[in-house]
């Protein structure tokens, strides 16, 4: 099946193009940002050599669904999606901090907790918690990128002391973070899911407005549990059923690959890529409650370029 791993075209008035692990970000002169979500899959900081059919469309359309569901509560960067894998919006100056909000003791917070730590990003965590227990109220644990590209916990006080964000702006994005998580949790609950934790990124537009930027509430940026069976699993200290791309990581682990030095990536065949594609479609339909409508996948790059150009001509 045809997949898109990268694009080679250049757009009119293009200033720069950045290629991340999954997405390509094109900056244009007229304060527009074009984000193309490719079909690349990364695991253990390694981009797999084969694309996953429809993955780019699924991630982009989940994010669109969530951005449109929250835009009446928090203003965001999105202007249009002229193609199933493309989002175009206002270019912003991003804050150098990710706002991570946690409703449950999971992931990084749980790993820190097991080491005996009771503070994360300056926030006190209660004693006597088990992994995946809920916090009494969601906690915001910001992080920032270090020079080597890894996330580092940072407290609100450090953010203000270092001048990364002004106090007034921080209050605003802190409020937005709580509002978004409350809405995201309600959307998840209506779909039989628990929004465990997630991250939000914000930026300031040219006219000084603080906007939500980037993707939100996707399986790549959020952790979901199934509500059904949660209490029973927690009572028995069993692992929770997750809705995420964890299944792809587990397949690689079963083949002896965790991204460690001297480990060989297993053969990525069509059975694997089709299995992952089917699981991503399941993710989409579970999270959004919508039937997935696959886009045509012949000559994807030409389709994407034509749809972007058509938007720019009429913008």
Q: Which of 2, 7, 55 is nearest to 35 (CA)?
A: 7
pLDDT tens for each residue of 137-152? 999 999 997 655 567 9
Residues 104 and 63 in one domain: no
122 and 221: one domain? yes
Please give the structure tokens belonging to residue 251: 């397949």
Backbone angles phi, psi at 285, to 5 degrees: -70, -35
> Do 164 and 101 share a structural domain?
yes
Q: What is the pLDDT of residue 44?
A: 81
At 243 the pLDDT is 84
Q: What are phi and psi of 188, to 5 degrees?
A: -65, -45
Q: Does residue 81 register a pLDDT over 80?
A: yes
Cβ-based neighbours of 67, under 8 Å, separated by 6 or more: 76, 78, 212, 216
For 214, the domain range is: 94-235
Q: What is the overall mean pLDDT for the chain?
A: 94
**In a shared domain, residues 304 and 180:** no
Q: Are residues 111 and 76 in the same domain?
A: no
**Could you read off the pLDDT of 95-151 as tens digits, one per residue?**
999 999 999 999 899 999 999 999 999 999 999 999 999 999 999 999 997 655 567
Residue 121 near residue 159 (C-beta atoms within 8 A): no
Residue 99 shares a structural domain with residue 219: yes
Burial annotation 17-26 (CB, 10 A radius, 16+ → b, else e): eeeeebbbeb
pLDDT digits (tens, 9 = 90+) for 27-54: 999 999 999 999 999 888 789 999 999 9
pTM here?
0.90
């Amino acid at each position: 099946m045809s997949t898109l791993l990268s694009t080679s075209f250049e757009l009119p008035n293009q200033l720069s193009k950045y290629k991340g692990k999954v997405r390509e970000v094109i900056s244009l002169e007229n304060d527009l940002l074009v984000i193309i979500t490719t079909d690349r899959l990364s695991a253990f900081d390694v981009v797999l050599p084969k694309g996953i059919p429809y993955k780019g469309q699924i991630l982009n359309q989940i994010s669109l669904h969530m951005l449109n569901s929250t835009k009446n509560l928090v203003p965001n960067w999105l202007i249009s999606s002229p193609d199933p894998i493309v989002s175009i919006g206002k270019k912003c100056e991003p804050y150098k901090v990710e706002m991570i909000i946690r409703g449950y003791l999971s992931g990084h917070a749980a790993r820190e907790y097991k080491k005996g730590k009771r503070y994360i990003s300056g926030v006190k965590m209660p004693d006597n918690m088990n992994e995946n227990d809920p916090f009494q109220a969601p906690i915001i644990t910001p992080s920032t990128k270090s020079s080597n590209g890894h996330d580092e916990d940072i407290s609100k006080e450090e953010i203000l002391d270092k001048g990364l964000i002004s106090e007034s702006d921080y209050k605003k994005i802190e409020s937005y973070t709580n509002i978004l998580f409350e809405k995201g949790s309600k959307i998840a609950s209506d779909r039989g899911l628990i929004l465990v934790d997630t991250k939000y990124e914000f930026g300031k537009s040219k006219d000084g407005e603080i906007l939500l930027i980037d993707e939100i509430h996707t399986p790549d940026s959020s952790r979901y549990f199934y509500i059904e069976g949660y209490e029973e699993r927690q009572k028995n200290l069993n692992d929770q059923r997750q809705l995420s791309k964890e299944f792809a990581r587990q397949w690689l682990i079963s083949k002896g690959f965790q991204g460690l030095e001297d480990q060989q990536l297993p053969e990525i065949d069509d059975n694997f890529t089709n299995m992952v594609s089917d699981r991503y479609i399941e993710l989409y339909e579970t999270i959004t409650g919508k039937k997935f409508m696959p886009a045509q996948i012949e000559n994807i790059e030409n389709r994407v370029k034509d749809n972007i150009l058509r938007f720019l001509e009429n913008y």
